[in-house]
Amino acid sequence: MTEENRDLQNQARILVKCPDKPGIVSVLSTYLHKHNANIIESSQYSTDPENGMFFIRIEFYCDRLEAKKSEMEREFTEIAALHRMDYSFHYRTNRQRSAIYVSKETHCLMELLWEWQNGDLETDIALVISNSEAAREVVEPLGIPFYYIPANKDIRAEVEREQIRLMAEYDVDLLILARYMQILTPNFVSHFENKIINIHHSFLPAFIGADPYSRAYKRGVKLIGATSHYVTNDLDEGPIIEQDVERVDHRDDIPTLKKIGRKIERRVLAKAVKWHLENRILVEGNKTIVFH
């Protein structure tokens, strides 16, 4: 085992959501100190110190964590019950497995593949699914399985059954819609709650749905943007993870807007995926708390 792998084997993260009250941080730090764990990074947020919710993400190092983690988790269930905590443990050696869905436009896929090759995404890309052959020549040389599955509204149920089967076969944790231009059914979404990240090519809630650049051009906007969000059954209305914009003016036609927009889409989606994989996001209702 390399020194780097040994180091990761002893690192983990705890995400906690609970009713706010004095002493929560002390409870968590005391618990970690008891197990000789050293806090590497800690971020917290309270909606209202009086009657609100409290959110915290703690990354820690603990020697011999592999041997200790079962007992640590068992002990934490008692703490969680006492303070009405929703929580999760995430171990650095347990890399999430991702599936990327894409259609004809491959710019977001390319960005994700570059980040992954560069070691900046904590994931194994298990497979790529597309309703176009355009991405095959990009994906297969990297040793990533590529599945061409034509999709339209007439065969949607059949397609989604196959996609769900593949997600189970490849043990996928996260689905990334990298400009996958298909509407997902409630049945499909229900299998992957808060595990599907989409990129929408507008600054939501403006221009929900199809062809937002053309509609933005007709409206004469001075800013265009992109939004990455978790997918729910309401089209383009799931919890927002990240957004960004760039200024445009009357000289920019629709092709120019699309060219500028693609750059925004790439960076917004990559950030959202990175933060999800690093366990930096907590979902509260239709909002997110993102610990940058």
Paired residues of 287 in beta bridges:
284
Select which of 63, 173, 236, 253 is catalytic.
236
Query: Is residue 273 within 8 Å of residue 112, measured between CB atoms?
Result: yes
* Spatial separation of the C-alpha atoms in residues 82 and 70, rounded to whole Å: 19
Annotated catalytic, 234?
Answer: no
Report the DSSP pairing between strands 37-46 and 53-62: antiparallel
Least Cα distance to 187 among 156, 208, 148 occurs for 156
Q: Which residues contact 109 (CB under 8 A, 6 or more apart)?
A: 100, 102, 128, 135, 138, 139, 178, 179
Total length of the chain = 292
* Active-site residue list: 236
